[in-house]
């Protein structure tokens, strides 16, 4: 950890995620081989299950839709230097909020109903993660831990409402909220077997990208994320920016929850919680917090997830296989950061650090 900042090497730096993917695939192959499976066959099956045919693609894109949004939920606060891992709870809150307003508003004209559901989901998720940002700015509480705790609290609240006050008495085995009217459901994209949520995700990613890279506010955000102290000295209101980005991120995850309710499940119940919120962390890291790169990263992770059932059916492997692949990919991705700007030099394990201050500063660099 030298005192000098890493020299930017755009080409090498851009290739690092690709290198990470290659290394992760090799390690995963090794794991699979040790488990007595043929690595090539497993990788082939994953590819076939994810991108092999129209059915695979459809499955992949269905998962990518909420994943783009949960990826943005991590990527946006990260631009202000915060590591948020509470996306799953924000998604749960969003799903709950959307389902809660759908019941009293049933019968309203569709666009209005969709708008109300989306707003409810975004506000619910935004308040949750915004609170983590506020706790950090006002009380110095580490946002990584607080967002995860809030996530557990949100999931508990969702369970409480789904099994209690908002429960549809007709949902016997699987407690759910009252089902949405069929016409309130979000339809498919024209010509595709994938719901509108995919387009919503892509549009959100585009908007976030334009905001961050082409507006004065985006510049302010980058200053805040790069060096809060300098930003404060330059007269930028750091606290509102940090809380605002957290809230915006939470709103994205909340919107993902709304989409899962309004396009897939038709009600809020435990099935909306399948780990999209957690996968969002990985996606944001693959994309290096770039909103546009979140889209292909979400498709990649969505594809890996979609391949799970084919692995199970064809090779009789546990559905956790894809979780192992994701885990390996994530670890490699974080570890390979060590090569950033120093790709020409081998990492030194016990490299001397000059003084505690730069060591701390570098460790707090969240855009790892």
Partner 1 sequence: MHVDAITAVLLAMLGGAIRVSTPFLFVSLGETITEKAGRINLGLEGTLVMGAMSAYAASLHSGQPWLGVLAAAGAGAVFGLLHGLLASLRRVNDIALGIALMLLGTGLAFYWGKAYIQPQAPTLTAFHLGAWSDSPALRSALDINPLFIAGLVLAFALHWAFANTRLGLTLRLVGDSEAAARAAGAAVIPTRIAATVFGGALAGVGGAFLSLFYPGSWNEGLSNGQGIMAVALVIFARWQPRRCVLAALMFGAAGAIGPALQSVGISSGYYLFNAAPYALTLLLMALTCSRDTSLKGAPGELSLNR
Length of the chain: 368
Smaller CB distance to partner 1: residue 52 or 327?
Answer: 327
- The span from the CA of 180 to the CA of 168, in Å, is 11
Taking the complex as a whole, the smallest distance from the CB of residue 335 to partner 1 amounts, in Å, to 5
- The span from the CA of 315 to the CA of 211, in Å, is 45
Torsion of CA 92, 94, 95, 98, to 10 degrees: 160
Taking the complex as a whole, the smallest distance from the CB of residue 42 to partner 1 amounts, in Å, to 13
Q: How far is CA 320 from the centre of its chain?
A: 19
Six token digits for residue 264: 């897939």
Smaller CB distance to partner 1: residue 259 or 310?
Answer: 310
Six token digits for residue 231: 């930003």
Taking the complex as a whole, the smallest distance from the CB of residue 136 to partner 1 amounts, in Å, to 9
Chain residues in the site for partner 1 (CB under 8 A): 1, 6, 83, 85, 135, 137-142, 144-146, 148-150, 152-153, 156-157, 159-160, 163-164, 278, 281-282, 285, 318, 320-321, 323-328, 330-331, 333-335, 337-338, 340, 342, 347-353, 355-356, 359-360, 362-366, 368
Smaller CB distance to partner 1: residue 51 or 161?
Answer: 161
- Residue with the two structure tokens 């339809």: 187
- The span from the CA of 367 to the CA of 364, in Å, is 9
Smaller CB distance to partner 1: residue 61 or 85?
Answer: 85
Taking the complex as a whole, the smallest distance from the CB of residue 352 to partner 1 amounts, in Å, to 8
Beta carbons of 82 and 146 less than 8 angstroms apart? no
Q: How far is CA 196 from the centre of its chain?
A: 18
Smaller CB distance to partner 1: residue 188 or 359?
Answer: 359
Sequence-ordered list of residues with C-beta below 8 angstroms from that of 212, at least 6 positions apart, any chain:
79, 218, 221, 222, 291
Six token digits for residue 103: 């019941």
Smaller CB distance to partner 1: residue 192 or 365?
Answer: 365
Taking the complex as a whole, the smallest distance from the CB of residue 33 to partner 1 amounts, in Å, to 14
Beta carbons of 86 and 148 less than 8 angstroms apart? yes
Smaller CB distance to partner 1: residue 3 or 207?
Answer: 3
Smaller CB distance to partner 1: residue 16 or 292?
Answer: 16
Taking the complex as a whole, the smallest distance from the CB of residue 159 to partner 1 amounts, in Å, to 4
CB atoms within 10 A of CB 203: 11
Taking the complex as a whole, the smallest distance from the CB of residue 32 to partner 1 amounts, in Å, to 10
Smaller CB distance to partner 1: residue 207 or 359?
Answer: 359
Taking the complex as a whole, the smallest distance from the CB of residue 104 to partner 1 amounts, in Å, to 23
Taking the complex as a whole, the smallest distance from the CB of residue 127 to partner 1 amounts, in Å, to 15
Beta carbons of 54 and 68 less than 8 angstroms apart? no
Kindly state the DSSP code that residue 273 receives in the 8-state scheme: -
Q: How far is CA 285 from the centre of its chain?
A: 9
Beta carbons of 263 and 195 less than 8 angstroms apart? yes
């Amino acid at each position: 950890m030298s005192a000098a900042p890493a020299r930017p090497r755009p080409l090498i730096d851009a290739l690092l995620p690709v290198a990470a993917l290659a290394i992760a695939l090799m390690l995963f192959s090794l794991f699979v081989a040790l488990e007595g499976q043929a690595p090539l066959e497993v990788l082939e099956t994953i590819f076939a299950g994810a991108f092999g045919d129209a059915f695979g693609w459809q499955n992949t894109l269905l998962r990518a839709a909420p994943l783009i949004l949960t990826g943005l939920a991590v990527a946006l606060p990260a631009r202000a230097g915060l590591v948020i891992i509470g996306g799953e709870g924000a998604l749960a809150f969003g799903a709950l909020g959307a389902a809660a307003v759908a019941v009293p508003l049933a019968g309203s004209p569709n666009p209005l109903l969709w708008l109300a559901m989306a707003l409810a989901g975004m506000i619910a998720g935004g308040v949750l993660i915004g609170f983590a940002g506020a706790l950090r700015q006002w009380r110095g509480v580490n946002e990584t831990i607080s967002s995860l705790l809030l996530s557990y609290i949100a999931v508990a609240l969702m369970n409480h409402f789904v099994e209690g006050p908002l429960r549809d008495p007709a949902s016997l085995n699987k407690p759910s909220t009252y089902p949405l009217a069929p016409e309130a459901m979000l339809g498919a994209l024209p010509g595709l077997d994938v719901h509108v949520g995919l387009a919503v995700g892509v549009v959100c990613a585009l908007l976030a990208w334009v905001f961050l890279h082409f507006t004065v506010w985006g510049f302010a955000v980058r200053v805040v994320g790069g060096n809060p102290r300098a930003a404060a000295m330059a007269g930028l209101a750091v606290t509102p920016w940090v809380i605002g980005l957290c809230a915006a991120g939470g709103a994205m995850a909340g919107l993902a929850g709304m989409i899962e309710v309004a396009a897939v499940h038709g009600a809020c119940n435990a099935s909306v919680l399948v780990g999209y919120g957690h996968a969002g962390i990985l996606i944001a890291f693959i994309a290096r917090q770039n909103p546009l790169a979140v889209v292909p990263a979400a498709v990649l992770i969505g594809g890996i997830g979609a391949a799970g059932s084919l692995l199970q059916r064809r090779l009789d492997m546990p559905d956790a296989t894809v979780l192992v692949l994701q885990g390996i990919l994530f670890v490699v991705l974080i570890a390979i950061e060590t090569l950033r700007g120093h790709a020409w030099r081998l990492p030194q394990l016990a490299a001397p650090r000059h003084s505690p201050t730069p060591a701390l500063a570098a460790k707090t660099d969240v855009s790892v």
